[in-house]
Amino acid sequence: MFRRIKKDIQVIFERDPAAKNVLEVILCYPGFHAILAHRVAHWFYKHKCFTLARIISQISRFFTGIEIHPGAKIGEGFFIDHGMGVVIGETTEIGNNVTIYQGVTLGGTGKEKGKRHPTIGNNVVISTGAKVLGSITIGDNVKIGAGSVVLESVPPHSTVVGIPGRVVVHRGLRVVKQNDYIDLEHGQLPDPVAEMLNSMQQQIEQLEERLAKLERGGRNVSQSL
Q: Which amino acid is at 144?
A: I
In whole angstroms, give the CA distance from residue 48 to residue 76: 23
Provide the residue-wise pLDDT of the chain in tens; the chain has 225 residues.
Answer: 788 888 888 888 888 888 889 998 899 889 999 999 999 999 999 999 999 999 999 999 999 999 999 999 999 889 998 888 999 999 999 999 999 999 999 998 877 778 899 999 999 999 999 999 999 999 998 899 888 899 989 898 888 888 887 888 766 544 344 444 455 555 555 566 666 777 788 888 888 888 888 877 766 656 665
Q: Are strands 158-161 and 166-170 parallel, antiparallel or unpaired?
A: antiparallel
Greatest alpha-carbon pair distance for the chain in Å reads 96
Instruction: Give the three-class secondary structure for 136.
Output: coil
